[in-house]
């Protein structure tokens, strides 16, 4: 006997008489069998959030319980596919839309994959969840390591031999005293549950982004979590895309949450054509995308973030380094607020449900570096964009997210307005990972990496102080040394921190290049300061010098060019005239 719809409130449906309802289990709603999930049970009434458009749904229509939680289907074919918030493939190039209640398979059921079993997988092997049974080349760049589902264990009775298979073919038979399981090449995983791993491990490896201000001043550790708060149009999406393109992890998961439909489609079209700077192949080959735009149902937006991170965990479990970019988590929080409102819950701050901080915490806790169940090392780095209204960082989503992320990359409206990009503020951004990463970069880049970092940030702080003085009593009161510092700060801002995401020479800056640039700028600073102090060189006329212009354009050079420039600096500074 199905349940019966009693009341419909937007994406939320109140249902009578559902037999043995279980929280977080899915249902099919109405004649059209829309996908829904039980989110609350109040006595006789099950409250359901519906992942598809509910317009047209009527009172008294039936609701059928399906005996499983909301899951994501994980298998070969996930990589390089664009899904909506409930894992229906979106063919954005065709511009097709998915009909209501339409059941599309998340994985291509006809595609044949070439499977190579692991040589140590002999029949009779005692298997634990998460072990690797074999491999499939999923895309040109990604090898899918076919895993025993995390919650399965037993003795291997049969294993597919080398050859071509579709995902629903028999991969293996595994038995234990209570079960005899035939496994296909995929498995389903409940999205709200973090996938298990053996142990967490500490990380001191940086998550390099190729963005100077991030890698040099506010570095993030691989397996860490960062937030990008920024008001309207400050560059969150551009930064997200830049990170997706250049970040040092092997696999990317992008969750587009509540962006405007046409903008998301445009962005995706260009993303699908992007080539991977490291392999020269298509970026999408190692990217999986969940797109839930603002015109799609709000409940699916709520789910999309969990779909995304579950997919990331699946690849982590194969021993990959993975990053998750969620844009924007504020739209996800707004979806929660809307649903909570429909449920008539007592609202917390700004109408958000009181459990919002807990959910934000649980999401970011799914980041980390770990030993997987199969003994490999894998990691998930999570980066979430936050869109505070009016750029006001005191609002709840920004504040709660700050509690659970270690790194803050704050976008500043004034910087964006003056076209200083990336508009990352050096006044409020921070990283709690600098110490661990410094050890690594001292070895990999240069022993004095950390000293240069400190000097750059000190000069930026001193500039702020001096500017306060200038605002109060004017520039004339500054000493020439102080004016020299303002000049260097300008060189740092324009020549080092500014980085054009759309320029071929400058979009990516390696850690080595960033270090070399910092070194050159600081050497110029020292040399100029020396002449100012010893010979009385005046600073104001220097702004017109070609040397200053050349330093601002150092970023267009490669490492050798920067080294050569640095070698010539002493003589060029000596040539500066009074």
Ligand X SMILES: Nc1ncnc2c1ncn2[C@@H]1O[C@H](COP(=O)(O)OP(=O)(O)OP(=O)(O)O)[C@@H](O)[C@H]1O
Give 75 or 230: the residue with its C-beta nearer to ligand X: 230
- Name the minimum Å distance from CB 87 to ligand X: 24
Q: Does 425 bind Mg ion (CB under 5 A)?
A: no
The residue range among 162-170, 231-239, 345-353, 536-544 that interacts with Mg ion, by the rule CB under 5 A, is 231-239
Report the C-alpha gap between 92 and 101 in whole angstroms: 19
Sort residue 397 into left (φ over 0), alpha (ψ -120 to 50) or beta.
Answer: alpha
Sort residue 350 into left (φ over 0), alpha (ψ -120 to 50) or beta.
Answer: left
Give 81 or 499: the residue with its C-beta nearer to ligand X: 499
Nearest to 295 by CA among 333, 321, 344, 257: 257
Structural contact between residues 221 and 436, judged by C-beta atoms closer than 8 angstroms: yes
- Name the minimum Å distance from CB 332 to Mg ion: 13
Q: From residue 417 to residue 436, what is the string marking binding to ligand X with x (rule CB under 6 A)?
A: ----xx--------------
Q: Does 210 bind ligand X (CB under 6 A)?
A: no
Q: Does 238 bind ligand X (CB under 6 A)?
A: yes
Beta bridge partners of 7: 14
Q: Does 235 bind ligand X (CB under 6 A)?
A: yes
> What are the backbone dihedrals phi and psi of residue 379, each rounded to the nearest 5 degrees, phi first?
-150, 155
- Name the minimum Å distance from CB 85 to Mg ion: 17
- Determine the size of the site formed for ligand X (CB under 6 A): 14
**Angle, helices 434-444/449-473, rounded to nearest 10 degrees:** 120
- Residue from the set 144, 225, 237, 514 that interacts with ligand X by CB under 6 A: 237
Query: Using CB under 6 A, which residues numbered 380 to 409 contact ligand X?
Result: 387
Nearest to 50 by CA among 94, 79, 15, 91: 15
Structural contact between residues 341 and 351, judged by C-beta atoms closer than 8 angstroms: yes
| CB-count burial class (<10 Å; 0-12, 13-18, 19+) for 192 | middle
The residue range among 112-120, 231-239, 336-344, 397-405 that interacts with ligand X, by the rule CB under 6 A, is 231-239
Give 264 or 522: the residue with its C-beta nearer to Mg ion: 264
Give 301 or 519: the residue with its C-beta nearer to ligand X: 301
Give 233 or 361: the residue with its C-beta nearer to ligand X: 233
Q: Strand runs (DSSP E) across 43-193, as ranges?
A: 45-50, 62-69, 71-74, 82-83, 113-117, 126-127, 132-137, 143-147, 154-159, 163-165, 172-176, 179-183, 187-190
> What single-letter DSSP state applies at residue 379?
E
Q: CA angle, corner 161, sides to 159 and 164, nearest 5? A: 120
Report the C-alpha gap between 559 and 545 in whole angstroms: 23
Q: Does 237 bind Mg ion (CB under 5 A)?
A: yes
Q: From residue 344 to residue 383, what is the string marking binding to ligand X with x (rule CB under 6 A)?
A: ----------------------------------------
Q: Which does 578 bind (CB under 5 to 8 A by kind): ligand X, Mg ion, none?
A: none
Give 25 or 409: the residue with its C-beta nearer to Mg ion: 409
- Residue from the set 11, 194, 230, 391 that interacts with ligand X by CB under 6 A: 230
Report the C-alpha gap between 301 and 291 in whole angstroms: 9
Give 232 or 543: the residue with its C-beta nearer to ligand X: 232
Q: Does 240 bind Mg ion (CB under 5 A)?
A: no
Structural contact between residues 532 and 480, judged by C-beta atoms closer than 8 angstroms: yes
Q: Does 114 bind ligand X (CB under 6 A)?
A: no
Q: CA angle, corner 335, sides to 431 and 293, nearest 5? A: 85
Q: Does 236 bind ligand X (CB under 6 A)?
A: yes
The residue range among 10-18, 170-178, 272-280, 494-502 that interacts with ligand X, by the rule CB under 6 A, is 494-502
- Name the minimum Å distance from CB 268 to Mg ion: 13
| Residues making contact with Mg ion (CB under 5 A) | 236-237
| Residues making contact with ligand X (CB under 6 A) | 230, 232-238, 387, 421-422, 500-502
């Amino acid at each position: 006997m199905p349940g019966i719809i009693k009341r419909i409130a937007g994406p939320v449906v109140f249902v009578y008489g559902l037999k043995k309802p279980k929280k977080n289990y899915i249902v099919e709603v109405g004649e059209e069998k829309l996908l829904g999930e039980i989110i609350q049970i109040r006595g006789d009434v099950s409250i359901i959030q519906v992942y598809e458009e509910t317009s047209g749904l009527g009172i008294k229509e039936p609701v059928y319980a399906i005996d499983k939680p909301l899951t994501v289907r994980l298998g070969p074919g996930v990589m390089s596919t664009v899904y909506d918030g409930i894992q229906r493939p979106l063919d954005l190039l065709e511009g097709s839309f998915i009909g209501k209640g339409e059941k599309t398979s998340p994985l291509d059921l006809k595609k044949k994959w070439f499977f190579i079993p692991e040589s140590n997988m002999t029949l009779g092997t005692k298997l634990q969840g998460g072990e690797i049974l074999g491999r499939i080349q999923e895309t040109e760049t990604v090898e899918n390591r076919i895993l025993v589902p995390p919650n399965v264990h037993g003795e291997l009775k049969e294993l597919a031999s080398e050859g071509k298979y579709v995902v629903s073919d028999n991969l293996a038979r595994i038995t234990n005293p209570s079960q005899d399981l035939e496994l296909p090449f995929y498995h389903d995983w409940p999205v709200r549950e973090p996938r298990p791993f053996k142990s967490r491990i500490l990380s001191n490896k940086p998550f390099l982004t190729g963005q100077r201000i991030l890698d040099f001043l506010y570095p993030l550790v691989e397996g860490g979590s960062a937030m990008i708060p920024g008001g309207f149009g400050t560059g969150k999406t551009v930064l997200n895309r830049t990170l997706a393109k250049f970040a040092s992890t092997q696999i990317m998961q992008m969750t587009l949450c509540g962006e405007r439909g046409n903008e998301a489609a445009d962005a995706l079209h260009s993303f699908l054509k992007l080539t991977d700077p490291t392999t020269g192949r298509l970026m999408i080959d190692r990217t999986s995308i969940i797109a839930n735009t603002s015109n799609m149902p709000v409940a699916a937006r709520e789910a999309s973030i969990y779909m995304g991170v579950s997919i990331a965990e699946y690849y982590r479990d194969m021993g990959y380094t993975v990053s998750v970019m969620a844009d924007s988590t504020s739209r996800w929080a707004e979806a929660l607020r809307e649903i909570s409102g429909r449920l008539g819950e007592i609202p917390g701050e700004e109408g958000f449900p009181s459990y919002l901080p807990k959910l934000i915490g649980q999401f970011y806790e799914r980041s980390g570096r770990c030993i997987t169940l199969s003994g490999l090392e894998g990691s998930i780095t999570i980066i979430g964009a936050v869109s505070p209204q009016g750029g006001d960082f005191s609002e709840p989503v920004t504040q709660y997210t700050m509690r659970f992320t270690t790194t803050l990359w704050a976008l500043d409206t004034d910087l964006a307005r003056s076209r200083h990009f990336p508009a990352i503020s050096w006044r409020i951004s921070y990283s709690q990972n600098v110490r661990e990463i410094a050890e690594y970069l001292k070895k990999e880049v240069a022993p004095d990496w950390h000293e240069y970092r400190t000097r750059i940030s000190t000069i930026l702080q001193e500039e702020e102080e001096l500017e306060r003085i200038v605002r109060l009593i004017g520039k004339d009161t500054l000493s020439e040394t102080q004016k020299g510092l303002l000049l260097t700060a300008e060189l740092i801002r324009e020549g080092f921190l500014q980085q054009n995401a759309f320029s071929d020479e400058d979009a990516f800056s390696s850690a080595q290049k960033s270090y070399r640039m910092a070194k050159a700028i600081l050497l110029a600073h020292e040399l100029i300061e020396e002449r100012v102090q010893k010979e009385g060189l005046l600073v104001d006329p220097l702004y017109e010098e070609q040397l200053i212009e050349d330093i601002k354009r150092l970023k267009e050079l490669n490492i050798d060019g920067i080294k050569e420039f640095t070698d010539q600096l002493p003589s060029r500074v000596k040539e500066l005239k009074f």
